[in-house]
Structure 1
Amino acid sequence: MNTSPWNKQKVLEVLRDAGVNPTSQRVEIGYALFSSCAHLSAEEIMQRVNADYPVVSKATVYNTLGLFAEHALVREVIVEPGKVFYDPNVSAHYHFYYVDSGDLIDIPASSLEISNLPELPPDTEIERVDVVIRIRRRSTH
């Protein structure tokens, strides 16, 4: 995504350019996600949106995030069953997931080399390789 500061007009334009109808709720959800440049859960996005725009339902947030992912505006990062982050950085990269704090941070693609991938089934191609490395802080005993 573009790194210039986000405002709601920019979100509207990005949605339009991606073929997403920029409803007011979608713009609010996009602004909450893109302006933070952080990995957020749907619940965190809903809290941010509803702080100023108290009529966005949970279903609308989830449906909008699914639509954004479908149009390659965000990446869904599944760190464990039931725990999904939405990442506005759609460029190639990987993640560290702190299991003790729930934080997710980027690993540049150039920092990890993946080799010896298995032979693909017939008539398939790789879409993307996702890597989440689960870590925890060492105890200080």
Structure 2
Amino acid sequence: MTTIAVERGQEWLAKGGLRPTRQRLSLASLLVGDGHNRHVTAEGLYAAAHEAGEKVSLATVYNTLRAFCAAGIMHEITVDGTRSYFDTRMDDHPHFLWEDENRISDAPAEELEITRLPAAPEGAEVTRVDVVIRVRRV
């Protein structure tokens, strides 16, 4: 990994108030080291880590991704209750789910218009709205 990738990973972890353990730092560097946002699955990040020579278990990758989400530096997008994607882009934006490719990508937020949401149940508040638009190549 490059020095700049590691520095970006350290800054990203610091933004979430997370201690930069070796495994967190290696995964963070893979996620944000090039300065671009990522949509990953735990399995995809696990494969990328092993390709980069990092020794981490799939369980550690899952736990680390969940810690990144809890720290507010990443979002989890759950699809069908069976698949989760993790997104490093933190602003509100919709996603395309490419059903034939099992991947997600950002959809243009400026083209999405939500005019009204139902009121949250008593004693609750809306914390986030995930919009996933399913697409497939024709």
Q: Deviations over 1:12-42 (max 9, x none)?
A: 1221232101001101111112235331110
- Quote the residue 2:128 is aligned against: 128
- Quote the residue 2:112 is aligned against: 112
Task: Kindly report structure 1 stretches of 4+ aligned residues shifted beyond 6 Å.
Answer: none
Mean Cα deviation higher: 46-55 or 66-75: 46-55
The one-letter code of the counterpart of 2:81 is: P
- Quote the residue 1:84 is aligned against: 84
1:10 partnered with 2:8? yes
SS at structure 2 position matched to 1:37: coil
SS at structure 1 position matched to 2:77: strand
Q: Is the 8 A contact 2:96 2:105 kept in 1?
A: yes
User: 1:14, 1:137 → 2: CA distance?
Assistant: 35
Gaps of 5+ in 1: 1-5
The one-letter code of the counterpart of 1:65 is: L
SS at structure 1 position matched to 2:94: strand
User: 1:17, 1:137 → 2: CA distance?
Assistant: 38
TM value normalised by structure 2: 0.87
Q: CA deviation at 1:54?
A: 3.8
User: 2:71, 2:77 → 1: CA distance?
Assistant: 15
- Quote the residue 2:59 is aligned against: 59
SS at structure 2 position matched to 1:134: strand
The one-letter code of the counterpart of 1:39 is: H
The one-letter code of the counterpart of 2:52 is: D
Q: CA deviation at 1:133?
A: 0.8
2:29 to 19, 28, 31: 31
- Quote the residue 1:3 is aligned against: none
- Quote the residue 2:49 is aligned against: 49
The one-letter code of the counterpart of 2:48 is: R
Q: CA deviation at 1:64?
A: 0.4
The one-letter code of the counterpart of 1:21 is: R
Q: CA deviation at 1:131?
A: 0.7
Q: Is the 8 A contact 2:15 2:73 kept in 1?
A: no
